[in-house]
Structure 1
Amino acid sequence: MPKEHPAQAPGTRGVGAAMSALVLAVLLAALDQTIVSTALPRIAADLDGFDDIAWVSAGYLLASTAVTPLWGKLGDMFGRKRLYLAATAVFLAASVACGLAQDLPQLIGARVLQGVGGGGMIVLTFALVGDIVAPERRGRYQSLFGSVYGVASIVGPLLGGVFTDQLSWRWAFLVNLPIGVVALVVAARALPAGVRGARARVDYAGALVLAAIATGLVLVTSFAGRWGWTSPAILGLTAATVALAALFVPLERRAAAPVLPVTMLTSRTVVLSSLIGFAANAAMFSVLVYLPTYLQIVDGVSATLSGVHMLPLVVGLVLSQSLAGRWAAHAGRLRLILVSGLVVNLAGLLLLSTVGAATGTVVMSAYFLITGIGIGMVPMVVLTAVQNSVPAADIGAASAVVTFARSIGAAFGVAVFGALLTADFATRTRDLPRTGGFDPSRPESLAQLPAAAQDLARAAFAHATGGAFLWIAPALAAGTVLALLLKQGRATAAGQAAGEPAGDRPAAKAGVRSRAA
């Protein structure tokens, strides 16, 4: 059965060129999840669509999550390079359509199409690392992408604000074109051609059901706070999603080439790693999304300065990503890295839950640094553990499973954190004057309150944020327990070339073929 082998990987210089293209692609896709946030008020005003503006972000998240498993499986079947180039082209074309949109329905439609391309870029990038890099070195290279995510989460909103204030919100989308074209050209020249996998009918039914499940999950997590967790719409979506999930497994068992092989759902490494990725991303995105708002409301800094204050977190994230990748490559102690990262991340969350208006800048920076170190040690190590535990022919599908779980975890974490924060803040400020239309989602509106009320609002927001961090902490605690259940060790190229799932096979002789985490 033909399949893509690491033996087709380019040389050292070629790996560098290929990785530079992949890093650029991940940067674009990651930025598009964050750069629009600060531009949304201006977009709503220009396109007269305040009621439906949330769909500009939700449409991208929904589409990118829903198509992830299909892109991964198609890459396994038809060769990842050609699918990657196609996904990048779709993303760039949709970026132009976003920048030229004349009304909100056009923009939302273009964002959905952009999510289709962006989801393919992300999952195929992760899978391509499995093609061009040996198993024992994947952790080092995957760590680059985690660092890019961390930087994008801070830089994205800042760039969105600069483009909106100095040029136009349309440049938040159009800026993708020159960078993306460079990435596309380099990728076309540097990526290995690959070989098609097994010739079989595409599992469109499974892909459609899985996309519907993803759609239900994203809609529930994105709009439960707006519609109400017990509203008929949310309850109906939840019930439909559960019913589709029950239908999915027997459907995939009958498929000739399932979009998500059932064996993935029975692999201890894949299942545990996906759950860990879900928990870690729920905590990570809660921190990255809400800390800038905290700084702007409680400390009274500008949007730009909030990014500067977040730099210790980014430094910790980038540093720990790099060290975790190198540690995994040389020692293969993936379980130890995951447990350490989750414990440090949990400690950071607990420290952040204690901050308030009286917390000094130095202390806050130390808390940010600790949190960043914990965040950086987990995501890409989880992906490396999964890739090293499956046959080479299933790397795309396995990468898609973890990416899917992490995307849902991010949406779930942000939704739950936001709901807890909003409810607690509303309770603490029920007696505040509402003149001036203060809205916590718009920190600049705080200035419209009377001076005494501003101090009360800041204190209430600080307490509400700390309480929300405490509620997120159990997710990381659960992830730590799951990480302890993972198998210790690492995979080798010999094991994957043999087509054996390294993480779930019996122990082999030392130095020949040991188990993946």
Structure 2
Amino acid sequence: MTRNAKIIVTIALMLGMALAALDTTIVGTAMPSIVGKLGGITLYSWVFSAYLLTSTTTVPIYGKLADLYGRKPLFLFGSIVFLIGSIASGFSQTMVQLIIFRAIQGLGAGAVQPIVLTIIGDIFALKERARVQGLFSGVWGLSSIVGPALGGLIVDHSSWRWVFFINVPFGVLSAIMLMFALKEQVERKKHQLDYIGTLTLSGGIVALLFAVLQGGTSWSWASWQSISLFAISILLLGWFLYEERRAAEPILPLDLFKNRIIVISSIGGVVLGTIMFGITSYVPLFMQGVKGGSATDAGIILGPLLLAWPIAATVSGKVVLSYGYRITALVGTGLTLIGMGIVVAFTPQVGLPMIIVAMVLIGAGLGFSSSAYILSVQNAVPWSLRGVATASTQFFRTIGGTVGVAIMGSILNVQMALHFTPIFAHYQQVLQHLPKGISPANVLLTPDVRSSLASGLLNQLQVALSQSLFWVYLLLFVMAVIGLVAMFWLPGGRADQYMYKAEPEADAAAEAQASSDMVMPHMG
């Protein structure tokens, strides 16, 4: 591949990555205005859940299809579906329509991020890739920071519909650039698609995510709905594992997990996803509810984390090349653990500098770790499995985050009931004068109500919320410990020692053919 073509492909992939990252944060800012126009506040969470369900369940499927039919057609297909969903979301007339179209948008988004990372693995040698991964992490971090602010500007100065329409010109540009600049020639042969594996995996994950997203909110964890969904999930995922051992071309080859690097990186992905989703969900809550900051303050406090991440990811590429995966991952998980230790110690009296230090440490730790996981997995498999292997790391990260946040939400609800109930029992008159529609749990997050509270009551509620969040942060701290311990099982030594080496003749020929088709530089 020529240098100019590689630059164009890189820009196209950066645009795709930016759109995927932007869409996860920009919609949240616009949702209050959307609800104000369309109504349906009871369906609020499903605007996010529908997108999450479809984008998560399709990741391993797209990864496998990218290995069978090539990266480019799957990326273009995902981009088109994402843009169709974006346009339809912008034209939504009801909340139900918006939820349906967000689900379609998620179907496309499930292809974009893992295939972006897979193409990076294809067109760059290991040394180049270590640097480029940091660049893409920077795009992701910057887009995540810009998202909330951009969403606010659009809503304040235009229609909320442009939150979705803004995706269109950039998505079209990304697709066109990739269409003409990326040349790949995949061997055409008849494939036996793993339909049963695809359906059982999708159904099992949908049931699991539906159970954890709705459990403890729409119904109790011990209800027949939760028990049924968990049972269905276990049954379908068990069937999936059975089928994958029999399928000619499994959607998620279980042999991948005979490789220690992939197993440990997958565990690391679950830990990383749980901490990433947990911190971005519950530190802003601390900032706004306990420290009394505004919604803007709550969003800005994540800035140090999202800036430290890409910087650390860039540096970690050099560390991987010089010292290997284990050292890099241990540095990352160690920094994350220290940062989480500070967060666990948060009290209403904690100063802003200490919060910033914690965010920087966690961001730097996640940046080091994420690069080590992606590079190690991509380097451990042949071209023909790189798509599904890369997708699996993204899959485990998202599953970890989704399930983790649901568990954290349940913990927080239990703790808030435990701490808030005795306080309000002594202030019955306050409950009677709360504005209609404001629950006691939201008192600290509603500026007008908050400012009307007596200082004694306000202080008690702040301490109660801080004590409730402590148990959430403690769970994240325990996950960070698990992540650090697991990384000792990553192989030591230089990264190039663990580069995939093709097996005798047939595999060697296939790898050579794939490399020449992609005009890839030799890795190593």
TM-score, structure 1 normalization: 0.89
Q: Which runs of 5 or more structure 1 residues have no equivalent in the other structure?
A: 1-9, 501-514
What residue is the counterpart of 1:77 in the other structure?
68
Q: 2:160 aligns with which of 169, 189, 213?
A: 169
- 1:222-247 CA-to-partner distances (Å, cap 9, x unmatched) read 22231222222111111111111211
Structure 2 Cα separation of the partners of residues 383 and 390 of structure 1: 12
Please give the alpha-carbon distance, in whole angstroms, between the structure 1 residues aligned to 2:58 and 2:442. Answer: 30
CA distance in 2, matches of 1:439, 1:185: 51
The residue correspondences of 1:130-279 to structure 2 (distance < 5 A) are 130-196=121-187, 199-226=190-217, 227-279=219-271
The answer to whether residue 404 in structure 2 is matched with residue 404 in structure 1 is no
**Take 2:447 and 2:462, find their aligned partners in 1: how far apart are those partners?**
9
Equivalence for 1:447: 448
8 Å contact from structure 2 (residues 17, 139) kept in 1 = yes
**356-365 or 101-110, larger mean C-alpha shift:** 356-365
Structure 1 residues 225 and 380, CA gap change in structure 2 (3 angstroms) = farther
**Distance verdict in 2 for CA 1:120–1:110, change over 3 Å:** same
Q: Match for residue 4 of structure 1?
A: none
Aligned pairs for 1:326-405 (under 5 A) are 326-328=318-320, 330-331=321-322, 333-405=324-396
2:78 maps to 87
CA displacement, residues 174-211 of structure 1 (integer Å, 9 cap, x when unaligned): 11112212212222222232424653122122111111
Structure 2 residue 305 is the aligned partner of structure 1 residue 313 = yes
Q: CA deviation at 1:346?
A: 1.2
Whole-Å separation in 2 of the counterparts to 1:141 and 1:175: 26
Q: 1:493 to 1:370 in 2, by over 3 A?
A: closer
Match of 2:111 among 120, 132, 145: 120
Q: CA deviation at 1:407?
A: 0.9
For the residue of structure 2 that corresponds to 1:260, the secondary structure is: coil
Amino acid at match of 2:65: L
Alpha carbons of 1:301 and 1:267: their partners in 2 closer, same or farther (altered >3 Å)? same
Measure the CA separation in 2 of the matches of 1:75 and 1:271.
21
Shift of residue 441, structure 1, vs aligned partner: 6.0
Partner of residue 282, structure 1: 274
Give 3-state SS (helix, strand or coil) of 2:160's partner: coil
Counterpart code for 1:459:
V
**Post-superposition CA distance 1:350-408 (Å, at most 9, x none):** 10121233222222222221121112111232121111111111001111211111110
CA contact (8 A) 1:49 1:104 kept: yes
Q: 1:21 is matched with which residue?
A: 12
For the residue of structure 1 that corresponds to 2:24, the secondary structure is coil
Q: CA deviation at 1:442?
A: 8.2
Give me the whole-angstrom Cα distance separating, in 1, the residues matched to 2:285 and 2:157: 22
Q: Aligned partners of 2:256 and 2:331: how far apart in 1?
A: 26
Deviations along 1:292-333, whole A, 9 cap, x unmatched?
2221222222222333333222232121111112322x3251
Secondary structure of the 2:43 match is coil
Change (3 A) 1:493 1:322: same
- Looking at structure 2, the residues matched to 138 and 229 of structure 1 have their Cα atoms a distance apart, in angstroms, of 44
Taking the aligned partners of 1:493 and 1:444, their CA distance within structure 2 comes to 50
Mapped to 1, the partners of 2:500 and 2:352 lie a distance apart of 50
Out of 471, 478, 486, which is 1:474 matched to? 478
Q: Give, in whole Å, the separation in 1 of the partners of 2:35 and 2:54.
A: 21
TM-score, length-scaled by structure 2: 0.88
The corresponding residue for 2:517 is none
8 Å contact kept, 1:135–1:492:
no
Change (3 A) 1:125 1:298: same
**How far did residue 134 of structure 1 move?**
1.3
Report sequence identity in percent. 32
Q: Work out whether residues 353 and 469 of structure 1, in 8 Å CA contact, stay in contact via their aligned partners in 2.
A: yes
**Residues 84 and 320 of structure 1, relative CA distance in 2, 3 Å threshold:** same
8 Å Cα contact 1:201/1:257 also seen in 2: yes
CA distance in 2, matches of 1:247, 1:332: 41
Q: Any gaps of 5 or more consecutive residues in structure 2?
A: 425-429, 509-522
CA shift, 1:150, in A, is 3.2
Among 29, 33, 55, the alignment partner of 1:38 is: 29
Residues 298/27 of structure 1: CA separation in 2 closer, same or farther (3 Å cut)? same
SS in 1 for 2:245: helix
C-alpha distance in structure 1 between counterparts of 2:85 and 2:177, whole Å? 20
Post-superposition offset of 1:335: 1.3
Query: Structure 2 CA distance, aligned partners of 1:463 and 1:494?
Result: 47
* Structure 2 residue matching 1:337: 3-state secondary structure: helix
C-alpha distance 497-107 of structure 1, shift in aligned 2 (>3 A) = same
2:487 — aligned with what?
483
Deviates more, 1:191-200 or 1:359-368: 191-200
The question of whether the paired residues in 2 share the 8 Å contact of 1:136 and 1:492 is answered with no
Identify the residue that residue 3 of structure 1 maps to in structure 2.
none
Indicate the SS of the match to 2:25: coil
1: CA distance, partners of 2:308 / 2:420? 35
Q: Distance in 1 between matches of 2:315 and 2:391?
A: 25
Question: What CA deviation, in whole Å up to 9, does each residue of 1:76-100 have, x standing for no partner?
Answer: 1111111111111111111000010
Q: Please tell me whether the aligned partners of residues 134 and 493 of structure 1 are also in contact (alpha carbons under 8 angstroms).
A: no
- For residues 310 and 275 of structure 1, the distance between their equivalents in structure 2, rounded to whole angstroms, comes to 25
Mean Cα deviation higher: 475-484 or 490-499: 490-499
Structure 2: which amino acid aligns with 1:278? V
Counterpart selection for 1:47 from 25, 34, 38: 38
**AA paired with 2:198?**
A
Structure label with greater radius of gyration: 2
Q: Structure 2 vs 1, CA of residues 340 and 212 (structure 1 numbering), >3 Å: closer, same or farther?
A: same
Shift of 1:120: 0.5
8 Å Cα contact 2:266/2:393 also seen in 1: yes
- Give the 3 Å change call, closer, same or farther, for CA 230–150 of structure 1 in structure 2: farther
1:376 partner letter: G
Which residue of structure 2 aligns with residue 510 of structure 1? none
In the alignment, is the contact (CA less than 8 A) between 1:252 and 1:262 conserved in 2? yes
1:458 has 2:476 as partner: no
Report the Cα offset of residue 497 of structure 1: 6.0
**Is 1:304 aligned with 2:301?**
no
Q: Number of paired residues? A: 492
Give the superposition deviation at 1:273: 1.1
Q: Equivalents in 2 of 1:196, 1:43: separation in Å?
A: 47
Q: How far apart are the structure 1 equivalents of 2:207 and 2:25?
A: 22
In the alignment, residue 125 of structure 2 is paired with which amino acid? A
Please report the RMSD computed on the Cα atoms of aligned residues, expressed in angstroms: 2.3
Residue 160 and residue 337 in structure 1: after superposition, are their counterparts in 2 closer, same or farther (change >3 A)? Answer: same
